[in-house]
Every structure is written in C-alpha cells, then in structure tokens.
Structure 1
Amino acid sequence: MAPVFTVNSVQWAAWMAAFLWPFVRMLALVSTAPIFGESWVPRRTKVAIAALLAVVLGPTLGPMPDTPVVSAGGVWILVQQVLIGGAMGLVMRMVFAAVMAAGEYIGLQMGLSFASFFDPMGGGSTMVVARLLNMLAMLIFLAVDGHLLLVAALVQSFHILPVADAPLAAQGWMVLALAGGQIFSTGLMLSLPLVTALLTLNLAMGILNRASPQFSIFAVGFPLTLLAGIGMLQLLMPQLGAFLAPRFSGGLDTLARFAQLLRP
C-alpha cells in the first residue's frame, strides 16, 4: 500500500508564509523597477516573474517568522515587504528619471518643448528627446545585464534585511530621499555640454541681432538651434553608455546601503 501524504495546518501555514512574503517584496520591486515595471509589460507577466522568483529563490532565503499570515502581525509584515520592494525599485527608477530630466533640459534648449506626447508610465506629457534618451538608457541597462544585477540585489536584500516583524529603521528612508536629490544634478551633468553649446549659440545670435537689426532672429534662430541640437545629440550618443554605467552601479550600491540601514 502506498504511503499517505498528509499536510497539517501548521505545515501549510509555514509553506504559505515562505512563498507569500518573499513574493510580495519581489512583486513590489518588479512593479516599480525599470524594464520590469514598464507600462508595456502586462500585469500577468509581472506577477508571473515575481511568482517564479519566489518559487526558485524562496527555499534559499532561510526560515521565515512564525507569525501567522492571516493575523495583524502577518499584515504588518506584508506592508513592510511592499514598502521595501517598492522603495528598491524606486531607487533604480531614479537613475532613469535623471536621464528623463536631462532630456527635458535638452529639449527645452533646442526649442522642442512643444514636441511632447502622453507618457502612460509617468502619467503626463514627456518631451520627445527625454523619451528617446530614456529608451536608449533602457537598452544600455539591458546590455550591461542590469536586470540580472537587479535581481541579484533583490536576493541579497533578503540576507541583509530578512523578513521579520520588527519595525524598520528610519535611516534607510533618508538614503532614499538623498538618492532622489541626485536626479537633478545627474540630469544636469548629462545635459550640460549640449545646454552650454546651445546657450552660446543663442548668445551669438542675440549679439548678431543687435549688431544687424535687419537680421531676422526668429526666422533663422529656431532651425539653426534645432540643427545644432541634433548635431550635439549625435556627439552625445556614443558617450551615453560610459556615463550611465557608473550610475547603474551606484544605484545598485544604494540598494544595498538602503537595505542595511533599514535593519532595526
């Protein structure tokens, strides 16, 4: 007679906790991180990726708390995992936000502020130049295996900050706020060469207009600025990968520091 496989309620609750709590953190990161969390990725695909990661990596994450899932403590742990995973995805999203900011600065100087369209991911209008740089940043992120390094950082976060019902420390959220402040400085550093060149061109045309009033600055200035901006963008593109690779590495380092400072 074949042996009977029985499962009691305690074992079932332990299995459910070992899957559910890591799954929630992974799903929160997948929903907010670049590449995985884009609007063109179906929701079912995001859930499937998080579930696959939880099934594969769950047995390697160590023991989970004895807190029942269906309890006040279990709900508190779920909320913590959502906050941790969402914040980790937001840290990497800030690197791409800096690229978008650079595109906004460049498009404004090129006179393309009117050339915008609705961005479903950001929920607002985005300049064409900003969208172009963002797509190039995503391709570079995939080329340097950033998506795999992001998954590795997620797994490492479970060893640095294991699932527990203890309150999170406030220092980690300060790291998140400081990382948000880097959006403007990084975007300005990326766009500074092109913005400086276009400002110099506008200054030269302004001086020419004062020296020769019959010179129509409005008829010549816009196409000249646009052509100069396109030429500068062509020179900027080959340097984009060398500029963004250290920023991606810095974002991954910020993830580790964020998880370490959240430990109570």
Structure 2
Amino acid sequence: MQFSESQLLTLVAGIAWPFLRVSALFLAIPVFTGHMVPVRVRVMLAASVTWLISPMLPAMPDAALFSLSGFWIAVQQFLIGLAIGLVLHLVFEAVVFGGQSVAYSMGLGFASMVDPQTGVQVPVIAQFYQILATLLFLAMDGHLILIRLLVDSFQMLPVGFEGLSADGMRRLALWASRLFAAGVLFSLPLVTALLLVNLGFGVASRAAPQLNIFSVGFPVSLGLGLFLIGISLPDVLSLFSGFLDDGYQLMTAILQ
C-alpha cells in the first residue's frame, strides 16, 4: 500500500483540527486546570476523546494542513474550545467570589491558602465552596454533559474557516458580568446577616466603651458565620446547579 503526501496530510488534518478544539477545552475547564492534573494526562485525555469521536465528525474542509488557511482553521478550533471551557470556568469562579465575600465578612480573610487551580491565594471558605461545587459537578455528570456538548459542537459549528460569530463573542463577554452577580447572590444572605451582627456590636461598643469589642465580636462572628454556612449550603449548591445550567445554555447559544 502506498500513500501520497497529500493523503497523509489530509488524514493528519482530520485528527489535528478536532484535537485542537478538544485540547483547548481541557486546558480551560476548572477540573483539569492547574497542577492537580499533569499536562501529559490532559494531552492523553484530549487525544483519547478525539480518537473516540472522530468517526462521528463531519467532513473536514479541503485545505492543506501546513498552509495559511490551515493555520486559520487551527486558530478557530482552538478559540472555540477555549470559549466553551471559559464559560464553565466563570461558573466556578462565581462560587469562589461568593466564598471570598463570606470569608471577609466573617473575619477569615487572613486564613488563605494557595488555590491549586489558579495558583493564587484564596480564603479557605472559598476553597471549601469550590471543592463542594466540583464534587457536585462530577456527581451531576456535568463532565459527561460537557463532552456531549463538545461532540455536538462539531455538528453545530463544523471544522472550517468560520469560527464564533460576533454575537457569540458579545454574549460571552457579557457573561463575564454574571460572575459578579452570581457571586453576590451566593453570599448575600450570609453577608447581610453578618453585617447586622457587626452593626449590633457597633451599637454595643458605643453604649459600653469599656467593652473589648474585638475579643467578643470575633468569636461570635466566626461561630455565626460557620452556622450560617451550614444551614445555607443546600441553597448555595442549588444556585450553583442553576448557574451551571445557564452556562450550558450559553455554550449551546454561542455555537449556533
């Protein structure tokens, strides 16, 4: 059996372009970012997913792999996968933002640790919320839904010269503002309750100046904050699942 150079390049292009979209997705989603998952493991997962979905992919465009048009197609595929992963990343960052607001209101802003996904210092309360959100994401088979959406993306937006539309990019940029809105929504009940407690301590300090408000107020704020986190945890996880569903709907919308 003999193969020409053009046939080999066509065969490689049919795997390389989808691999770029899949690998960009694994590069951006929170579960596989950071130092928790080695780069080799992510590459192997992306290659395995690409090999499994390759029989279901539509026909590849008639363009040379090592050409200007082939390079443009590769860039488009990478941006599509990166955009899908970015939406999911913003969903998890909303949980972290809400956890930071709660931690600062409780007085635990100084209790920070390195986030293995981003490599920056975040409060332990934010880490707690992020771990619970990750476990809920895996328990709800969110990773399987994401792979299914990735496979459907090759039907909705096939490999070609066209990438994300201007309307899709605009909706993706506007979605970033939802990060702050969702984070405030996650933390608003706890922050409001702790604010009322701090106001009460402020009134008590004015009524009794000799009272050491710091030695009394910090344990109360800390204990009340932990109690409120425990009773509001089901509601926070419910809000996260709803925000995650909105993220999947946005992924579908920007691909159409």
Which band: TM-score by shorter chain? over 0.9
Query: For 1:230 and 1:122, how far apart are their aligned partners in 2?
Result: 25
Query: For 1:11 and 1:176, how far apart are their aligned partners in 2?
Result: 38
Report whether the alignment pairs 1:193 with 2:193: no
Query: For 2:71 and 2:6, how far apart are their aligned partners in 1?
Result: 18
Which of these residues, 76, 91, 102, is aligned with residue 72 of structure 2? 76
In structure 2, the partner of 1:212 is: 208
Partners of 1:157 and 1:259 within 8 A in 2: yes
SS in 2 for 1:157: helix
Partners of 2:22 and 2:50 within 8 A in 1: yes
In structure 2, the partner of 1:244 is: 240
Which one is further off, 229-238 or 181-190? Answer: 229-238
Identity of aligned residues (%): 41
**Considering only aligned residues, what root-mean-square deviation do their CA atoms show, in Å?**
1.3
Report whether the alignment pairs 1:182 with 2:178: yes
Partners of 2:99 and 2:126 within 8 A in 1: yes
Query: For 2:59 and 2:240, how far apart are their aligned partners in 1?
Result: 38
Query: For 1:238 and 1:138, how far apart are their aligned partners in 2?
Result: 15
Report whether the alignment pairs 1:129 with 2:125: yes
Query: For 2:45 and 2:193, how far apart are their aligned partners in 1?
Result: 45
Matched length? 256
Query: For 2:34 and 2:249, how far apart are their aligned partners in 1?
Result: 22
Gapped runs of 5+ residues in structure 2? none
Query: For 1:207 and 1:189, how far apart are their aligned partners in 2?
Result: 28
1:159-190 CA-to-partner distances (Å, cap 9, x unmatched) read: 11111113642111111111110011101111
Partners of 2:17 and 2:77 within 8 A in 1: yes
TM-score normalised per structure 2:
0.96
In structure 1, the partner of 2:152 is: 156
In structure 2, the partner of 1:91 is: 87
1:194-215 CA-to-partner distances (Å, cap 9, x unmatched) read: 1011001001111111112222
1:136-156 CA-to-partner distances (Å, cap 9, x unmatched) read: 000000010000001111111
SS in 1 for 2:122: strand
